[in-house]
Amino acid sequence: MWRMRTGFIVTLLIVHNVLFGGFRPARSLAVRSNLEIVKQWKLFSYAFPQNAPVSDTNYYNPLTIVPTSMTVGYDRIYIATPKLFAGVPTTVSYVSKEDYSESPILRSYPDWSYTVSGRSSFNCSDSYLVSVYRMRIDSCNRLWILDAGVSRTFEDSEQTCQPKILVFDLNTDQVVRRIDIPRDVLRNQSILVNLIVDETSSISGTCDDVFVYIADTVRPAIIVYDGARDMMWRLSHPAMWPDPDLGLVQVLNDRFFIMDGIIGLAFDTVSGILYFQPLATDRIFSITKDALRAGPRRLHDILPIRFLGKKSSQGLPLYLAPQDGSLLFSPVTETAIVSWNPQTKQQAVLFYDVDALQFVADISASPWESGVVYAMSSKFNRFTLETVNKDEINFRLMRFKYPSRSAVSAQRLFTPSDQVRSPLYTNDENSIAFNSTGYRSGLERLVPTHTPAYSLEPSAKIYQFQGVKNGLHAFSGNSVPAAANIFQLSQLGRLGYSYSLGHSVN
Ligand SMILES: *[C@@H]1O[C@H](CO)[C@@H](O)[C@H](O)[C@H]1NC(C)=O
Ligand SMILES: *[C@@H]1O[C@H](CO)[C@@H](O)[C@H](O)[C@H]1NC(C)=O
Ligand SMILES: *[C@@H]1O[C@H](CO)[C@@H](O)[C@H](O)[C@H]1NC(C)=O
């Protein structure tokens, strides 16, 4: 026991010392579960312009403002707060990295003149930002802001302006490019939530001759933009759609449904593979950039989509670690961050925290901080159920070094589960996706030895279940079941085989 505890403390110290050697980072607040907390907020407050109608809850209602991504630049952190409800005063804000306070006040990006909130009339041809979910920084230090154009998505879902991309030069904060998304690649109710800027064949040095892959989550599709030819087309496939059986999301005791399609995107620049996942699914898929770039397809042409494998629950972000080609994702029910190496097919839990990792909405890296990965969690479950506790931390920006010494890297914590055969997928025996061995038998798996790398709370445990549904599930308090037996998962209504991890920390 003592050795375990010592081991854990040593791990923490190593993380503290090796992280962020070169670039001057924002000061961290604390280390929690080996995740370094960079910023955290109960709710957002803003440096409002004079005369802003802050007492009007249709203009500013902090209980309706939920971040979906945070993008870390050279000297600032950019925060996207889409207009899911009324009361969001600006959709893109920022805080300075030099602001060492725990919960800095947000400023509108680039300034308040770009927000439509509180305006009675405006011209959509001007550079207004309506509702933004995600942004990307390219290698020319420009911020690509994808504006879905829809206000109050969960209320009256008003199409305030057509969707567009505004590219800001972060050195000057000026718009240097505007890309309007043409109507013919949109559908009624399209909500554009994510984008990848693929620079792998860019030769101009200006980051203009890039390809952009855009996720439409409500009318599921990938919209491809060819920046050199200024052309756009729409590609769809059943793999981009939500699975109704997985429309119900569970985070701790919160249950709610989200039938969102494709949302997580990650691009491997070495292999040229785009990985993607709908929200309401337990699967991850991939497609090559060549297939995306090949142009529009006829209606019933089947896109060459690979089925990569299953995970334990739904999730939003995908992140590709350039160091080893691993995909990082966050199964929401397990409140964990997991890595998955598509080559070796090994999955490992990197971090687990029932509070800090509730509803991880974004995993990303900063072009300025090599080897550092940022994760942002939002307690979206509370916001959508209107049970927000404004006295507790609801939003956290955390970071860790990858590959992480704190990770359970040597552990085959769980391996991908059953193969899915379908003429919809192009998987073959030699592909990097699943082969026919199938990994069906859980009992053949390597059972992890006790690891001090989990900074589990004493009463919390992680279990891996095998059977009808494979996966990783976390329990704490009175719901912790006995280790290493077969039992009914009351909440999931299934049988599972379990063994415990982390009880040595106790
Ligand atoms: C909006 O701006 C565009 C471009 O400046 C202009 O052509 C158009 O007439 C304007 N629309 C309105 C309603 O003012
Ligand atoms: C979208 O719906 C509206 C009203 O329901 C309809 O008037 C419009 O034609 C539709 N647009 C498209 C592109 O289907
Ligand atoms: C399937 O993959 C496993 C793990 O990579 C490998 O050991 C096995 O030989 C593969 N089987 C076939 C039929 O390719």
Q: Is residue 24 predicted with pLDDT exceeding 70?
A: no
**What residue ranges do the domains of the chain occupy?**
2-401+408-505
- Whether residue 14 is predicted with pLDDT greater than 70 in this model: the reply is no
pLDDT of residue 324: 85
Given a cut of 50, whether residue 311 has pLDDT beyond it is yes
Higher-pLDDT residue of 347 and 12 is 347
Name the residue among 372, 329, 317, 305 with its Cα closest to residue 195. Answer: 317
Q: How far is the CA of 156 from the centre of ligand 3 (A)?
A: 51
| Side chain identity, residue 178 | R
pTM, 2 dp: 0.79
Name the average pLDDT for the chain. 79
In 187-272 the beta strands, taken as DSSP E runs, fall at 192-198, 211-216, 221-226, 231-235, 248-251, 254-257, 262-268
Is 444 touching ligand 3 by the criterion CB < 6 Å? no
Is the Cβ atom of 437 under 6 angstroms away from ligand 3? yes
Q: Name the pLDDT band for 312 (thresholds 50, 70, 90).
A: confident
pLDDT given for residue 66 in this prediction: 97
Hey, whose CA ends up nearest to atom 8 of ligand 3? 437
Q: What CA–CA distances, in Å, run from 278 to 290, 376, 386, 442? A: 21, 19, 24, 26
93 versus 436: which is more confidently predicted?
Answer: 93
Strand (E) or helix (H) holding 14: helix 2-18
pLDDT for 33: 56
CA count, 13 A, side-chain hemisphere, 469:
20
Which of 346, 429, 437 has most ligand 3 atoms within 8 Å of its beta carbon, as the pocket-test mutant?
437
In CATH terms, 2-401+408-505 corresponds, of 3.30.70.3190, 2.120.10.30, 3.40.640.10, 3.40.630.30, to 2.120.10.30
The alpha carbon of 125 and the centre of ligand 1 are apart by a number of angstroms equal to: 6
Q: Please, which pLDDT band fits residue 308 given cuts at 50, 70 and 90?
A: confident
Report CA(346)–ligand 3 centroid distance (Å): 13
Is the peptide bond prior to 110 cis by the omega test (within 30 degrees of 0)? yes
| Predicted local distance difference test score (pLDDT) of residue 317 | 98
Q: What is the CA radius of gyration of the chain?
A: 22
CA of 437 to the centre of ligand 3 (A): 6
In short, whether 429's Cβ falls inside 6 Å of ligand 3 is: yes
Which residue is listed with tokens 């080996």?
A: 34
Nearest atom in ligand 1 to the alpha carbon of residue 124 is: 1
| Ligand 2 midpoint to CA 188 (Å) | 6
From the CA of 178, the nearest ligand is 1
pLDDT of 323-346, one tens digit each?
888 899 999 988 888 888 877 777
Q: Is 435's C-beta closer than 6 angstroms to any atom of ligand 3?
A: yes
Q: Whose CA is nearest to atom 13 of ligand 1?
A: 123
* Cα 435 to ligand 3 centre (Å): 6
Name the residue with higher pLDDT: 210 or 343.
Answer: 210
Q: Kindly give the distance from the C-alpha atom of residue 122 to the centroid of ligand 1, in angstroms, as a whole number.
A: 10
Which residue is closest in CA terms to ligand 1's atom 14? 123
234: tokens are 């729409």
CA of 189 from ligand 2 middle (Å) equals: 9
Ligand of minimum distance to the alpha carbon of 121 = 1
Phi, psi of 246 (to 5 degrees): -115, 25
**Per-residue pLDDT reduced to its tens digit, 147-204:** 999 999 999 999 999 999 999 999 999 999 999 999 999 999 999 999 999 999 998 8
Q: Which residue has the higher pLDDT, 326 or 9?
A: 326
Ligand 3, atom 6: closest residue by C-alpha: 437
Q: Name beta bridge partners: 215.
A: 194, 222
